Amino acid sequence: MSVDPSDRRSLRLQPRPSATPVREAVERVSRRMDTAFRWVNLEILGNTDGFLHAHVWPRFEWEPIDLVSKPVRLYPHDGWTDEQFALGPQHDALRQAIGDELDGLRSAN
């Protein structure tokens, strides 16, 4: 089905895959890997792209108190651009664990 991206109502009414398995996998892995895990925030967006998409944000006790209850996009700009936070090999185990959780959730259904 082709939909005009400017037609937001049509975009909202299209069937879309659930973000629930991804949220569940991120929550399980985050809880196992960091005892300071709090919860997972889901942001379902489609404001600038012609499709809906979700951001999955695990939240932790070690986050600054003035930011942990707010949207992640409000973090200082440095956190988004500093090389020390860039995706790299240090995240391989995390990515593998989330993928394994997703595989397990899929096979359970």
Torsion over CA: 28, 33, 36, 42 (sign): negative
Confidence at residue 103, expressed as pLDDT on a 0 to 100 scale: 95
Summarize pLDDT for 46-103 with one digit per residue, the tens. 777 777 778 899 999 999 999 988 888 888 988 889 998 899 999 999 999 999 999 9
Q: How many CB atoms are located within 10 Å of the residue 26 CB?
A: 22
Residue 34 lies in a domain: yes
Domain count within the chain: 1
d(CA 60, CA 40): 9
Residue 1 lies in a domain: no
Query: Does a structural domain hold residue 84?
Result: yes
Quick check: is 2 in a domain?
A: no
Domain that holds residue 77: 8-108
Residue 3 domain-assigned (yes or no): no
- CA-based nearest residue to 27, from 72, 60, 75: 60
Q: What is the pTM assigned to this prediction?
A: 0.75
SS3 16: coil
Separation of alpha carbons 42 and 87, rounded Å? 20
Can you give the pLDDT at residue 2? 45
Q: Report the pLDDT value the prediction gives residue 73, as an integer from 0 to 100.
A: 86
Residue 49 has a pLDDT of: 72
